[in-house]
Structure 1
Amino acid sequence: MTAAPDKIVAQAIRSTTPPAANADSDRPAWGRLGLLTAALAVALGAAALVGFLASRQPETARWFYLAQLAILLAGGAILGLIVARVRRDLLGPLAQLRLWARRMRNGELSARMPAAEDDELADLARDINRLGDEFRSLSRRKDERERAQTVRLARKTQSLDVLYDVASSLSRAGDLDKLLESFLDTFIELVDARAAAVRLLNDNHQTRLVASRGLDPAVVEKDQLLDIGLCQCGWAITGGDIRVQHGTQPCAKILGMPMLPRDCTEFVVVPIQHQDRVLGVYNLFLDRPLSALGEDMRDLLISIGRHLGLVVVKARLDSDARRLAIMEERTALGNELHDSLAQSLVGIRLQLKMLGETLHKKDLPTAQDEVRRLRAAVEEAHTSLRELLANFRLKIDDRGLVPAITDMVQRFRDESGIAVFFQNECRELKLTPAQEIQVFYIIQEALTNIRKHSQARNVRILLNNEADLYTVLIEDDGLGMAEVSDARAGEHIGLAVMRERAARLSGELVIESEPGEGTRLILIFHSPPLAAKSRAAGG
């Protein structure tokens, strides 16, 4: 521990206080100056005495004046010696001391005072030089601590960048393997590793290599699947803690080939966790010990593993949601075909039978009527098929629900000529992909019913939320309905489909309508608790 500056100064000042031995050694030097001063005083006294005697004995005054002149000359010489001595032993060291202080003040901590052996202030100069050495040593230690702290802060900043990149990936959709691979370059830069890899646990109690950097392609091909009981990767999964191995020789024995052309110093295995479940590991091939990277590096690697666990869980949930959405979309397509086009084809089939019977009777006027009705039925079936294809071409892309609704509203407005106003009042839309699909198709079905049956001129769509409670309002100024149960056949089918989708959202669908007053449809549902937990963990 470096001594405090005031302690160093106090110690240096104490060291400048000469001990008794030094005081005794300095007495001859200061005694010579005292002797010279005494000699000058004696000379001045003698000159005064000679002048007094010359005034008393005029006959010999000439000789007294000559003696007085000689004494004064001797006194002048003594005075010159005194001045030279003061300049050399006092004024010179003081000037050097002032120069030393100026250089120290300007940051030149290597400044020193010359200390001659016969200098009257040699001990003081040596003490001052020792004080300067202490200050220089203190400054050097301070600079070293500042450099170490700067390196530590830079590493902390880099670590926060890594955690931010991992956390921000929670909002990105994409392939999980490519997502994990994108982090490896960051990991390598963080710990100055030679190589890195990510392995995920599968249902067969094996670890699958999903991403790697710095490994030979032959090693990657041979290292695809490993049982969890064979090596450090599996032991880290079963134990749930960081494993550190000296080199990769045990791994090379399992693979039958070296993992690196030149072996690393340490092979680090970090578990990828979500809550209490271990989903896999990531590996770091280091050329220096993990302990040399800092005492907080181990905690940082564990934190990165937990953030990666969130990424893995979210990616898997998104994949499941997409598969479910595809299944639901296929089911919806089947229902639409059954409820619209299939019924139209059944009607056409019956009309063809009636047309055949009419022609058999050679009743041409009736046959012509049947042909007109049949042509109208075919045209209606064709229109239904076009609407069905158009509706299923409208999909939710990576932009999300709101842009998809905007595109759908614009297309509906252009094709129907009905004025549609879409208001999005959600501050932050946090729905799963499956929920977005259900909301999208409910709005789409409502617009289809409005175009077919309402004769409306204006439609308003409002999307709103308060925390996790979401509301979708769709209202028009059309004909309305006496009772929902008395709705026409096409409307009944559409309402049934919308209610089914609302049930999949675990929500409530409310329909308000009166003849001539238009129709209002209100969908109320909550975002799932899992989405809220994922947001809290990611935030």
Structure 2
Amino acid sequence: MTTPPAYPPIPGHLRLSTRIAGALVGFLLLALTAIGTTLWLSWQLEGSAAAINETGGVRKQEYRLAMLLGREVRAPGGGYARDARAQIASIDATLALIDRGDPQRPLGLPPTAAIRDSFSMATLRWQRELRPLALQVLQARGDERLPPLRDFLGRVDAYVAQIDAIVGLIERDNEVRTFWLRCSQLALMALAMGGTVVLVYLMFSLIVDPVERLQAGMRSMADTDFGVRLDVASQDEFGQLAAGFNRMADRVEQVYASLEDKVREKTAALEGQNRELALLYDSAAFLQVRQTLEPMCEGFVERIMRYFGADGGSVRLIDANTDKVHLIVQAGLSDEMVKAERCMPVGDCLCGEAAQGKLPVVRLLRAVPGPDVSRCAREGFATVSVFQIFAQDQHLGVFSLHFRSETSFNDRETALLETLGRLLGTAIENMRLAAREREMAISEERNMVARGLHDSIAQGLNFLNLQVQMLEQSLHDGQQQDAAAIVPLLRAGVKESYEDVRELLQNFRSRLEEDDLNSALRKAVRKFRDQTGVEASFKAEGGGGLPFPREEQLQLLFIVQEALSNIRKHAHADKVLVQVRDGQDFSLSISDNGVGFDAAAVPASGDSHVGLHIMRERARHINADLAIESGSGAGTTVRLYVPSAHRRAA
């Protein structure tokens, strides 16, 4: 059985648009008919008036023709014959024009048989009687003209009287047409008034009244009178609107009756969502704090236990090398259970099974006596839920919640716990990455320190060792003079090694004050000037670039210190300039006017020239390009360049 549609299709003749359009089209057709009739009668009257004028003009033309013929007979040769012939042609043209009419003027005889017959008889009389007599007068000579002239003049008055009769017929026809014109105009006025009344009535009955009923119903609904209903008085669109309004009123009345329950449900749902968001924000903020693994996991377990009302909880991480699950932190578990599950294989017990399956598990436990009862059931727990800890796609472990009553999780709570597991996994992985970073940084720094010691202290001690052997040999051989020559070399070597150790210690203790690279470089240059007496200056330009991270600033400071150390040891310079240009790109140069060296002969790596190799390693560490420009007797310039594409902001 099919359900009838809530809004059945409206028959075409009952549609509001059809009825309104029909009324308007009908009124338009009546108005066009009345206007067309009026225009047609007006056109006929104008044509008849022109016909009266032209027909009346024939009388004047006949008398003028008679006058011209008389003058021609009395005074031949005076040009009256020519004018008479022209007058005859004019009368012919006028009669022909009246007979055929002229729609553009307009000009035309009324379409009545009496008028048409009378005009045809008048035209025929002119053609057969008057026109031949007038031509005979013009063609005769002398006294022969008098008889036809007298005959023409005798007949003119009768012909003019006939023309007057035709004009009278046209005027009486015009009176009739004028009457009908007035009637059509009155009818048009009546149609306008009646049509307006009918259209107003239709608009009120079809549109205004239904809209007012709808408005009254809406006003009652706004006043919380949900029992109001509208009468469905038609089958058109407003009838469907009224039916729809009644259905809406039924629905609103039902909804309003259960509104308090729905508000209570929505409020509870919002409170639950707010608690979830609060847990997520609290957990995310807590896990972002730098701390060790155990306090971080303890705070995590404490928060989810408090939120879900759990009686116990734990965090376990997987050792991929040994395929073991290690208990990191726990709460609410007995010492015996902790001791038994501190380290267990993947797949053992419920937590191990969940870690192996990598899926959330919620299990209801039945405390049935027997050897197969799980350890959690013996502890008095009725429900154990285990969720996974992921860092992106890497599986790190599981965390569990233990309940002493039967507990289930809906989809939203399960999604929340899975999200919390990913947050914890990300925090653990970030902690591990930070530890690896620190280890790598320490390892790299140790390698650089080792190279520095090899380049300075180790080589100095090797030189001292050779000198001591030579001193011992000289004393053994009794060569006092050679021994005395070796002692100053030993003293100079010890002093140089002492200065190298002191410089290394000072470099190791270098720190950036308030993350200001220029201040640290200026301080290093000033210390170099105070210790060596060399004229050293620092110049900084720009300052519009992004600040470097603190680690990269330290690397730049160490490069400058290493370059200044090389100048002190080998350059024999008396002027040094350290210059910084900090824009979109960053450039640093250390120049001296010392003895220089053959830069092309220095290898890019190796055990010799370890100081230069250390500077290159530090430059690579911060994605910088390092170039050394030098020549024998031409000084040395160390240039470091960091393009904007490789520049990282602090």
The TM-score bracket by the shorter chain reads: 0.5 to 0.7
Residue 309 (structure 2) pairs with residue 192 (structure 1): yes
Partner Cα separation in structure 1 for residue 625 and residue 268 of structure 2: 61
In the TM superposition, residue 442 of structure 1 has moved relative to its aligned partner by 4.2
Output the CA distance in 1 between the equivalents of 2:575 and 2:613: 21
For 2:360 and 2:437, locate their aligned partners in 1 and report how far apart those are by CA, in whole Å: 33
Which residues in structure 2 correspond to 1:161-176 (within 5 Å)?
Answer: 161-162=281-282, 164-165=284-285, 168-169=288-289, 172=290, 174-176=291-293
Normalized against structure 2, the TM-score is what? 0.49
* Letter of the structure 2 residue corresponding to residue 204 of structure 1: T
Which one-letter code corresponds to 1:459 in the other structure?
V
Aligned equivalent of 2:386: 269
On the 8 A contact 1:166/1:308 being kept in 2, the answer is no
Q: Name the amino acid aligned to 1:222.
A: A
Cα shift at 1:345: 1.8
Deviation by residue 1:250-297 (Cα, 9 ceiling, x = unmatched): 9x989986589652x4322111112333111111224666656x5422
Q: CA deviation at 1:200?
A: 0.7
2:280 corresponds to 1:160: yes
Map of 1:30 onto structure 2: none
Any idea what SS the aligned residue of 2:592 has? Answer: coil
Change (3 A) 1:461 1:283: farther
Cα distance, 1:497 vs structure 2: 2.2
- 2:274 alignment partner AA: A
Within the candidate set 239, 255, 262, 2:357 is matched to: 239
> Which one is further off, 213-222 or 337-346?
213-222
Q: What CA distance in whole angstroms lies between the structure 1 residues aligned with 2:607 and 2:619? A: 19
Residue 226 of structure 1: CA displacement?
Answer: 1.5
CA distance in 2, matches of 1:472, 1:343: 35
Q: Within 2, Cα distance between the matches of 1:492 and 1:185?
A: 57
Residue aligning to 1:12: 227
Preserved contact between residue 351 and residue 370 of structure 1 (Cα < 8 Å): yes
1:245 and 1:268 in contact (8 A); partners too: yes
Counterpart residue identity of residue 200, structure 1: L
What TM-score, normalized by structure 1, do the two folds share?
0.58
Partner of 2:637: 519
Matches for 1:312-327 after TM superposition, within 5 Å: 312-327=428-443
2:599 alignment partner, one of 469, 479, 484: 484
1:300 CA displacement: 1.7
SS at match of 1:300: helix
Query: d(CA) in 2 for partners of 1:378 and 1:500?
Result: 29
Shift of 1:158: 1.0
CA shift in 2, pair 1:496/1:14, >3 Å: closer
Structure 1 position 385 matched with structure 2 position 501: yes
User: Which amino acid in 1 is paired with 2:350?
Assistant: Q
C-alpha distance 429-379 of structure 1, shift in aligned 2 (>3 A) = closer
Secondary structure of 2:313's counterpart equals strand
Q: Does 1:210 align with 2:328?
A: yes
Sort the Cα spacing of 1:152 and 1:315 in 2 relative to 1 into closer, same or farther, 3 A: same
Mapped partners of 2:607, 2:471: distance in 1: 26
Q: How does 1:367-516 map to 2 (within 5 A)?
A: 367-393=483-509, 402=515, 410=523, 413-414=526-527, 416-417=529-530, 427=546, 441-442=558-559, 444-452=561-569, 453=571, 455-460=574-579, 473-479=587-593, 481=596, 483-485=598-600, 492-502=609-619, 508-512=625-629
Deviation readout 1:488-528 (Å, 9 max, x if unpaired): 99993311222245556776433345776762431559999
Spell out, residue by residue over 1:413-451, the C-alpha distance to the aligned partner (whole angstroms, 9 max, x if none): 4465466678987757679x8x89866754553353355
Give the direction of change, closer, same or farther, for the CA distance of 1:327–1:235 in structure 2 (3 Å limit).
same
- How far the C-alpha of 1:148 sits from its partner, in A, is 1.2
Distance in structure 2 (CA, Å) of the matches to 1:342 and 1:495: 17
Contact 1:198 1:209 in 2 (8 A): yes
Question: Matched residues in 1 for 2:339 and 2:549: separation?
Answer: 40
Q: Secondary structure, in 3 states, of the residue corresponding to 1:296?
A: helix
- Is the CA contact (8 Å cut-off) linking 1:479 and 1:517 kept in structure 2? yes
State the secondary structure of the residue aligned to 1:12. Answer: coil
Does the 8 Å CA contact 1:509/1:523 hold for their aligned counterparts? yes
Once the two structures are TM-superposed, the CA of residue 344 in structure 1 deviates from its matched residue by: 1.1
Q: Deviations over 1:38-91 (max 9, x none)?
A: xxxxxxxxxxxxxxxxxxxxxxxxxxxxxxxxxxxxxxxxxxxxxxxxxxxxxx
Selected match of 1:182 from 299, 302, 317: 299
- Counterpart of 2:125? none
Shift of 1:463: 7.9
**CA 1:213–1:334: 2 relative to 1, 3 Å:** same
Q: 1:307 maps to what in 2?
A: 423
Deviations 1:75-110 (A, max 9, x none): xxxxxxxxxxxxxxxxxxxxxxxxxxxxxxxxxxxx
Q: Give matches, 1:48-87, under 5 Å.
A: none
- Cα displacement (A) at 1:408: 8.3
Aligned to 1:536: none
Amino acid at match of 1:484: A
The C-alpha deviation readout for 1:209-264, integer Å capped at 9, x for no partner, is 112233344433332111111133233333222111224969x989986589652x
When residues 258 and 243 of structure 1 are mapped into structure 2, their CA distance, relative to the original with a 3 A threshold, is: closer
Report how far residue 135 of structure 1 moved: 10
- Aligned partners of 1:426, 1:193: CA distance in 2, in Å? 53
* Contact 2:578–2:591 (CA under 8 A) maintained in structure 1: yes
Tell me the distance in 1 between the aligned counterparts of 2:544 and 2:339.
51
Amino acid at match of 2:294: D
For residue 387 of structure 2, give the secondary structure of its aligned residue in structure 1: strand
| 1:96 alignment counterpart | none
> What residue identity is the alignment partner of 1:197?
S
Aligned to 1:330: 446
**What secondary structure sits across from 2:328 in the alignment?**
strand
Aligned length: 395
Q: Are the equivalent residues in 1 in contact too, given 2:528–2:564 (CA < 8 A)? A: no
Amino acid at match of 1:165: A
Decide whether aligned partners of structure 1 residues 404 and 204 sit closer, same or farther in structure 2, where only a CA change above 3 A counts: farther
Deviations 1:153-211 (A, max 9, x none): 42243143145326634xx3x43333333322222233333332211110211111112
Unaligned 5+ runs, structure 1 = 16-132, 533-539
Amino acid at match of 2:268: A
Matched-pair identity in %: 26
Displacement, 1:375?
0.7
Aligned counterpart for 2:413 among listed residues 282, 297, 303: 297
Task: Write the letter of the residue equivalent to 1:345.
Answer: L
Distance 1:306 1:341, change over 3 A: same
- The answer to whether the aligner puts 1:340 opposite 2:456 as a matched pair is yes
Separation (CA, whole Å) in 1 of partners of 2:403 and 2:598 = 73
Give distance in 2, aligned partners of 1:254 and 1:439. 66
The one of 352, 360, 370 aligned to 2:468: 352
- SS state of the match for residue 311, structure 2? strand
Matched residues in 2 for 1:179 and 1:406: separation? 38
Deviation at residue 333 of structure 1 after TM alignment: 3.2
Matched, 1:280 2:397: yes
Q: Distance in 2 between matches of 1:446 and 1:228?
A: 56
Give, in whole Å, the separation in 2 of the partners of 1:403 and 1:350.
45
> For residues 494 and 364 of structure 2, what CA distance do their matches in structure 1 show?
77
**Whole-angstrom CA distance in 1 between matches of 2:500 and 2:439:** 27
What's the RMSD between the two structures over aligned residues? 5.0
Is the alpha carbon distance of 1:338 and 1:221 closer, same or farther for their aligned partners in structure 2, counting shifts above 3 Å? Answer: same
- Per the alignment, do residues 357 and 159 of structure 1 end up closer, same or farther by CA in structure 2, a change over 3 Å counting? closer
